[in-house]
Amino acid sequence: MALDVLMAGTGEYTTGWVGEKSKSDKKKGVVALTLFDLRRQGLVEKLLMAGTNGTKFPAIRKHLDEQIAKVYKGLDTSFASFPPDKLYSDPKAYLRAMDSMQKGDAVIIFTPDDTHYEIAKAAVEKGMHVLLTKPPVKTLKQHLELSELAKKHEVLVDIEVHKRFDPLYRNAREEIRKQPFFSEFYSLMTQPRFQLETFRSWAGKSSDISYYLNSHHIDYHVWSMEGIARPTKVTASASKGIALGMGINTEDTITLVVEWAHHSDHKKVGVAKYVAGWADPTSDVHTQQGFECMTYDNTGNVKKIKIDQAHRGYTIYHEGKQVESRNPLYMDYNPDENGFFAGQNGYGYVSIAKFIEAVTKINNKEKTPAYFDKMLPTIARTPQLTAVLQAGRMSLDNRAPVEIRYDSTDMALPIGFREYKLELVEK
């Protein structure tokens, strides 16, 4: 039986609408488009969308009609909206939406970072499955609590970390894991300055650019290092100035330097540097991004794996306009020759479709939620992601490194933090 799905959040990633058509590469959105197509296939049934301001919905419906319904054959863009169109404000509209749903239905959450835990907790306690955007939550405590709640209520809580479904990244992960140690990992993910305007309402208030962007590659690195190494110390630094000049009190760029201890030999340490920013000039891509990782074995064989995710060899030159580098491996927005949506293999689509597929198998009693801890980036599998992100924020706020502690009975599960005291050493 097809399930109902609530989209919590009405912004860029869900609909492509940010008070106007998004200026990013997600003008058609990702979540709603994917669900409209899954509904066409009979895999989902009723779709709901919850925001905080009902007066936005007429414009969102018009946008989805123009960008999706009139572009692709057979895609119905209808959905039930919460709050009602004429209601200006209802921060708890998602609860009203959930009241109209059943146990076993699904909730997909793309809202400001500091709201994820509350919405997810409400869904889980109602027996609903949850797909959370990254970062899943803001603190390790919330992460572990949500993991325990998911087990208690026997539901799936999954994280939408789509880089795990990028075929190049998946292949590179296996290359990284062929050797027992890593020496260096460096990642970059930066977006243009107009994103600060798009996210002005929450930038520097409910979250920061490290939570928003570094979460992608930190999760990827955590996934790559499963059983090999674990993060133990985080030192953060940041640049400020461009956002301040726009009247937004937040960092322009945040860099996390993280030490990793190898499980097989704690004397061997790898160092990762994760860089995230949202103050770039406009360029050929919306997001400059990629990583490189150097690995080695006990005989001294060294290997470096490098991916430029921003440039996949596909460039469009517009007369009199800026050069455009496209990545249809993520979301292919061009219809097929018969006019139907053809982006089912894009890893942005797949990361959502895999969740719906898993929920369907759980509801049909074919699999248990615990089964997917080995298959998907579930809340139970990803606590190191949140630990590194929170430690980074703590390091920035306290101007000191932060150590991640572990329970010795579970080498993979962080249990807390220890902040280093600042000491002035005279020479």
pLDDT score for 86: 83
CA torsion 56→62→64→65, rounded to 10°?
160
pLDDT score for 269: 96
Residue pair 94/50 in contact by the 8 Å Cβ criterion: yes
Nearest to 163 by CA among 116, 108, 223, 106: 223
Instruction: Give the number of residues written for the chain.
Output: 427
pLDDT score for 87: 83
Nearest to 123 by CA among 141, 111, 139: 111
What span, in angstroms and rounded, lies between the C-alpha atoms of 182 and 266?
12
pLDDT score for 425: 43
Residues forming a β-bridge with 262: 229
pLDDT tens for the chain, 427 residues long, are: 789 999 999 999 999 998 888 888 889 999 999 999 999 999 999 999 999 999 999 999 999 999 999 999 999 999 999 999 988 889 999 999 999 999 999 999 999 999 999 999 999 999 999 999 999 999 999 999 999 999 999 999 999 999 999 999 999 999 999 999 999 999 999 999 998 888 888 888 889 999 999 999 999 999 999 999 999 999 999 999 999 999 999 999 999 999 999 999 989 999 999 999 999 999 899 999 999 999 999 998 999 999 999 999 999 998 887 889 999 999 999 999 999 999 999 999 999 999 999 999 999 999 999 999 999 999 999 999 999 999 999 999 999 999 999 987 888 899 889 877 654 444 3
Instruction: Map out the domains of the chain as residue ranges.
Output: 3-161+339-379, 164-334+384-414
H or E element that contains 382: none
Please tell me whether residue 376 adopts helix, strand or coil conformation.
coil
Tell me: cis bond preceding 377? Omega within 30 of 0 counts. Answer: no
What span, in angstroms and rounded, lies between the C-alpha atoms of 348 and 224?
19
Those residues with Cβ within 8 angstroms of residue 166's Cβ, 6 or more apart along the chain or in another chain: 309, 329, 330, 347
pLDDT score for 421: 61
**Which of the four CATH numbers 3.40.1390.10, 3.40.50.300, 2.40.50.100, 3.40.50.720 does domain 3-161+339-379 have?**
3.40.50.720
CA dist list (Å): 48 to 5, 6, 67, 227, 240: 6, 5, 19, 39, 39
**Which of the four CATH numbers 3.90.550.10, 1.10.1200.10, 3.90.1150.10, 3.30.360.10 does domain 164-334+384-414 have?**
3.30.360.10
pLDDT score for 426: 47
pLDDT score for 274: 98
Nearest to 373 by CA among 365, 383, 364, 363: 383
